[in-house]
Amino acid sequence: MKKWHWSLLALFSILILAACNPGDGSNENDSTEDNESAAEGVAELTFWSYVNPNQHDGQLLMDMVDEFNEANENIEITYEYIPHGEIDQQVSVAVAGGGLPDILMIDNPDHARYASMNVLEDITDKVQEWGEEAQYFEGPWASTIYEGKNYGVPFTTNALALFVNNDMLNEKGIEVPTTWDELTTASQQLTEGNTLGFSMSAISGPEGMFQFLPFLLSTGANYDQLDDPNAYRAMEFVTNMVDEGYMSRETLNWGQGEVASQFTAGNAAMMVNGPWMLPQVRNDAPDMDFSIALIPKDSEYASVLGGENLALPKGDHVEEAWTFLSWLSSKEQAMRFSEGSGQFSPRVDVSDELGWEGDPHLSVFLEAIDNAQPRGPHPAWNEIAEAIQNQVHNSITGISTPEEATEQAHQDVIEIIE
């Protein structure tokens, strides 16, 4: 049986128990509140988001919700902040016992899992009538699709690229690398004293897999194609970078924040990271002359998508929720949030109008987004990421050869998805 089915079976068992439970009167109270709202002609909706209202982007999003409420007297949206690490558990509890929100923010690799659980409303017809699909980058849009149907709309997006310390490269007369061979050679020449040529995160789980995946994709393989003859090359590349001393073995323990700290401290000449690290780099190393480049390639340039999607859990207020979602996703509002928060919009027209193509740093991330692929999408993505990243660790630590680790990762992934 598929491993990821166990979590679904457990969840469905909870659902059955919840359905059989006669209740404690809370549903009656909820019904009374709903009736009062209906009598007043106001649909009361909740929006679960993990964008912190105490931060600038969260306050902006709350302001936008308030503006929508003022303009729509028959709809009242309540913004509820749930930390990113807790929202998945909250959704599971709500599925079992009731109380799902009307609008839900989802980390894009989790979208397929929620859709497979029959939690989300199929909004394919609404999206087609809306007519805005063509305005979105292909990769972010693909992350909202499950089995050919649309279960949401992308809200923000990002991708990984290569940060380069220009001063270090210029001192050695090194051009910015564009291929794995060039990256290896440059890293060798830049590794000196306390400075290593290259850094990335290889930490366990989805974060490390997020950084490893561009290298796997660059071979022409993917998470479900690890039996491809070239797939092992990704495992071999990152292992060799550590074995040769061009990348710290501590990469196994570093998240993306620690990697950025190594870069700004001058301990790494190049790193793989995302646009959310631009403020940290500029703040921690204000005098550094740095540039952004596409991640060097094996057979093709590749990156991986991050970002958030918005979806509508099944409920009684789907029409009103869609009114809000389509408003928040409009060009005008998407531009407002993107410009105010500094986050990339998944809308091509917004990026074009904001002129980010003319920014030497942001333009490269836009190019990466345009060519990036989503993580999965697959309902068991977290298990898949854990299985592959475990083998990355085995390869780097010498427990397995890159070929053996790739073969074991293939077997583990097949066991999960079949």
The CATH code that applies to domain 3-157+307-362 is 3.40.190.10
288 pLDDT exceeds 80? yes
Contact by Cβ (8 Å): 2, 417: yes
Q: Is the peptide bond prior to 109 cis by the omega test (within 30 degrees of 0)?
A: no
**pLDDT tens, 169-214?**
999 999 999 999 999 999 999 999 999 999 999 998 888 999 999 9
**What's the rounded Cα separation, in Å, for the pair 167 and 272?**
18
**pLDDT tens, 257-286?**
999 999 999 999 999 999 989 989 999 999
Looking at 149-266, list the stretches that DSSP marks H as alpha helix, in order from N- to C-terminal side. 166-172, 180-190, 206-218, 232-243, 256-264
Which distant-in-sequence residues (6+ apart) come within 8 Å of 39 by Cβ?
none
Confidence of residue 40 (pLDDT cuts 50, 70, 90): low
Averaged confidence pLDDT in the chain: 90
Give the strands of the sheet with 270-273, arranged side by side: 270-273, 161-165, 290-293
3-state secondary structure of 43: strand
3-state secondary structure of 314: coil
Same fold, 3-157+307-362 and 161-302+380-417: yes
Q: Which residues is 164 bridged to in the sheet?
A: 270, 291
Percent of the chain with pLDDT over 70: 90
Q: What is the pLDDT of residue 385?
A: 93
**What's the rounded Cα separation, in Å, for the pair 418 and 402?**
24
Q: Where are the domains of the chain?
A: 3-157+307-362, 161-302+380-417
Tell me phi and psi for residue 75, to 5 degrees.
-130, 135
Which of these, 299, 313, 309, lies nearest to 329 by C-alpha position?
309
Q: Which residues is 362 bridged to in the sheet?
A: none
Confidence of residue 140 (pLDDT cuts 50, 70, 90): very high
**What's the rounded Cα separation, in Å, for the pair 61 and 49?**
10
59 pLDDT exceeds 90? yes
Looking at residue 325, its amino acid is L
Which of these, 72, 67, 107, lies nearest to 87 by C-alpha position?
107
Looking at 301-354, list the stretches that DSSP marks H as alpha helix, in order from N- to C-terminal side. 318-328, 331-341, 348-354
Q: Which residues is 106 bridged to in the sheet?
A: 309
Confidence of residue 56 (pLDDT cuts 50, 70, 90): confident
333 pLDDT exceeds 80? yes
3-state secondary structure of 224: coil
**What's the rounded Cα separation, in Å, for the pair 327 and 321?**
10
Q: Which residues is 310 bridged to in the sheet?
A: 105, 153
Neighbouring C-beta atoms of residue 76, cutoff 10 Å = 17
The CATH code that applies to domain 161-302+380-417 is 3.40.190.10
Question: Average pLDDT, stretch 94-118?
Answer: 93
- Rounded to 5°, the CA angle 60-64-69 comes to 145
The residue with greater pLDDT, 123 or 356, is 123
